Amino acid sequence: MPEKLDLDPAVLRQLADQHEQVARDTRKWAEQPTDWLADFPRTYGSIADPVYHALRDYYQARQDAGEALALDHETTAKNLRASADNYEYNDQEGAAAVRRGGDEVENPTGGGTQPAPSSPPPSTGGTAPDGPSGGRGPDGPAPDDVRPDPDGTATTPQPEQTLPGGTAPDQPIAEGQTPTPGGPTTGAPAGADTGAGAQTPTTGAAPHIPAAAATDTSAGSTNTPTGAPAGASAGSPTGGVPPVTAMPGAGVGPLAGGMDDRSATAPPSQTGGRSEAAPMGVPMPTPFAAAVANAKDKAAEPAHVVGDQVDEDLVIARTLLQAVLAAADSSVIGLSWAVSVMRGPAGAGVFITTNEGRGWMPAGMFLPREVSSPWVWDELLGTDGNAGSPWEGVSDPARVLVEFGMAWGQKANAKLSALVSSGPIDPGLRAQLGDVPSQGLVGPSYDLDLREFTPDTADRLGLFGSLNALEHVAAVQDNQVPGRCVELAIDAHMKLGRSGPPPVEAMEVRGVRERILAVVQAGQQVPAPWWDDLRDADDLLAASMLSRRVDPGRVGLGDLRVDDADSSLRDMVFERRCNELVLLLEGEPTRQGLRDAVYAHEQIVEHPLFMEAPSTVSTADTGRVARPATSTGTVSAPGVSAGPPGGVSGPPPGAVAGPPPVAPPLSRSDQDGA
């Protein structure tokens, strides 16, 4: 909280005057040229009637827009004047409270003459200060630290000390109220759950947390800043989407301990994005929660309709996708993104995927720990006992999330509550979604920076990598990082070579990789043009994959199955991940680079359908055994080269000669001529 707040009501009123002047100027600018329009038909004739009607529509639209803009300025001016009046009123009340500060010492029993209350502030359309809605009475000082709740309710801070039942020592317990062990209940928003499902602090007041992302979209839901919402798990991420105990997207809050290994001494249990430890310490709002709250306010600004609620799940999904698009490399050809929110009785889960491979994520991003992916839940994706997923190779990532929502919703009693995509959402899919909020063609937004690591975020390995991979990274010492990165690239390249012949489109890129790896193994400097050649070949490979993806537009929900017989697209994805491993060797090796390399390596070798051909088994050549010649009369062929020896016209001795050539008999005519 700032130590000093210096506001001048005169400045606020001056700004209000400026807004009113702008409103007047805007209305004047938006006025229609009625005289000129009235004279237009007579001047140009009936042949210009289409132009005349178009001009009337244009000036009418301009007038409507100007009127709306002027109303906005007038509303702002009104709010500024009301703020100035309230500021002066609160200043006077504060001074009166200071003057009454010694009354309690002089009159401890409450007797004596009490000072008259100050005049109430001018009405601004809200509840009067002494009204029955929880406002301050006329004979009590105004609290200087009342904070507004995001839902519009004022929340007064808790007293310093409270009884076990949640009542301050100088406050009587209301009739019929039962003291609840576990913390104070005063000051909670109306309708907040204070039973066993909610957690409340034992002493003092918890800091205010923006709960825009943690509220339920149901009508009776409320925000409880001091604890988890009713039905939410104890490990709910602070300020973010409350994780669901029965939902795969349930993450752990940012205070669950060290989740990212930044040194070689980090234990394996603290190197992943999924930990079972409960949050400890004082919860603090996360950048993602703040971005969601800001986006929610912006979404409500154009209408400002009382009682009209913004769809929070759609705001959550859109905010995450916008930040991801701003942080991701936009040069990846054909890469599309989608984000969905699934909500059930216990809370919500956020899922993200792409249309490349099994939801491949590019390097350089740090996503909130509440985020999950459908591809880490293989037990739900397999069909008919087969490994893998029936949706790999689908061109529309939004369709993948919808299919996953149908498969998971039946098990978790959850349903899809929001869907956004970086590409267009198929109209047929949107029609089948019904009333589920959705939005396509979402663009990037730089309000939330996901390119920097923070305690509440994790990289792609921490969120979507296996526990074995996390333990492997934690066991690598700092001085072993460069060598391990090279080993991973060579291992993936060799295993791809043994898995079978590469696709025709990948022949060139495999040759470029081999040249680079040979130079790296020799400890020499790779020429810079070779890296450019590898990138160009990888881009060509990515462009070749576009026509191989499956368009699910004409397939009904729940019937989408991609044939695994054609593995060419999957092989091309493997080649691209191997290219990524080699390109990671270009820069200076770091531990983050090792984590990215392990993730890319797992995308190949841990794929359910990746099969490495066994190495060819060969026996050692023992040479020919020369058998001694025997005198049994065995005939052996002479050791001569092709053709008979010089000077010999017949077969060699001992060989059986063929019959002599027989000339055909002459005909009678030939004999007579002879």
Structure confidence by residue, pLDDT tens digits, 620-648: 444 444 444 444 444 444 444 444 444 44
**549 is a domain residue:** yes
Q: From 473, 477, 493, 458, select the one nearest 585 (Cα to Cα).
A: 493
Structure tokens at 667: 């005909």
* CA 574 to centroid of chain Cα atoms: 23
Domain contains 143: no
465 assigned to some structural domain: no
DSSP 304-350: --TTPPP-HHHHHHHHHHHHHHHHS-TTSTT--EEEEEEEETTEEEE
Q: Would you state the pLDDT for residue 463?
A: 95
Query: Does the residue 359 lie in any domain?
Result: no
Q: Which helix (H) or strand (E) element contains residue 367? A: strand 367-368
Helix or strand holding residue 16 (H, E) = helix 9-30
3-state SS, residue 243: coil
Nearest Cα neighbor of 261 from 35, 101, 506, 472 is 472
**pLDDT score recorded for residue 481:** 95
Across the strands, what pairs with 338? 353, 421
The answer to whether 347 touches 435, Cβ cutoff 8 Å, is: no
Nearest C-alpha neighbor of 386 from the set 612, 553, 565, 572: 565
Dihedral, CA atoms, 155, 157, 161, 166, nearest 10 degrees?
10
Backbone angles phi, psi at 352, to 5 degrees: -135, 145
d(CA 266, CA 279): 19
Per-residue pLDDT, 580: 97
Q: In 134-192, at which residue ranges do the beta strands (DSSP E only) sit?
A: 147-148, 154-155
Write out the residue range of the structural domain in which residue 523 sits.
476-605
Tell me 186's DSSP state. T
pLDDT score recorded for residue 5: 59
Would 46 be classed as within a structural domain?
yes
Q: What is the pLDDT of residue 305?
A: 54
Q: How far apart are CA 209 and CA 367, in angstroms?
A: 20
The answer to whether residue 428 sits within a structural domain is no
578 falls within a domain: yes
DSSP secondary structure code for residue 627 in this structure: P
Report the distance separating Cα 292 and Cα 262, nearest Å: 28
| pLDDT of res. 512 | 95
Tell me whether residue 165 is exposed, middle or buried, using C-beta atoms within 10 angstroms of its C-beta: 0 to 12, 13 to 18, 19 or more: middle
The reported pLDDT for the residue numbered 365 is 95
Count the neighbouring beta carbons within 10 Å of the beta carbon of residue 534: 20
Distance CA 436, CA 429 (A): 11
Mark which of 96, 116, 142 sits at the end of a domain.
96
The one-character DSSP state at 458 is: E
- Quick one: pLDDT at residue 465? 93
- Secondary structure of residue 283 in the 3-state scheme: coil
What is the mean pLDDT, run by run of 10 residues, along the chain of 674 residues? 64 90 92 91 89 91 92 92 88 81 53 46 43 39 43 42 40 42 38 39 35 39 37 36 42 38 44 41 69 83 60 94 91 92 88 94 94 84 57 92 88 91 93 92 93 93 94 94 96 92 89 95 94 95 92 82 74 96 94 96 92 54 46 43 45 47 49 48
Please check whether residue 532 lies inside any domain of the structure.
yes
pLDDT tens string 103-152 = 555 554 444 444 444 444 444 444 433 433 333 443 444 444 444 444 44
Q: Do 398 and 338 meet the contact criterion of CB atoms below 8 Å apart?
A: yes
Collapsing DSSP to helix, strand or coil, 410 comes out as helix
pLDDT in the model for residue 302: 62
Do residues 160 and 204 touch, judged by C-beta distance below 8 A?
A: yes
* Amino acid letter, residue 568: S
Domain count, the chain: 2
Cα 241–Cα 247–Cα 250 angle in degrees, nearest 5: 45
Q: In the structure encoding, which two tokens stand for residue 457, read together? A: 């975020």
Of 55, 74, 96, the residue that ends a domain is 96
How high is the pLDDT of residue 585?
Answer: 96
Domain endpoint, select from 31, 63, 96: 96
Strands 154-155 and 147-148, sheet pairing? antiparallel
Enter the tokens of residue 368: 């909130």
Closest CA to 83 of 19, 153, 155: 19
- Helix orientation angle between 34-44 and 49-99, rounded to the nearest 10 degrees: 170
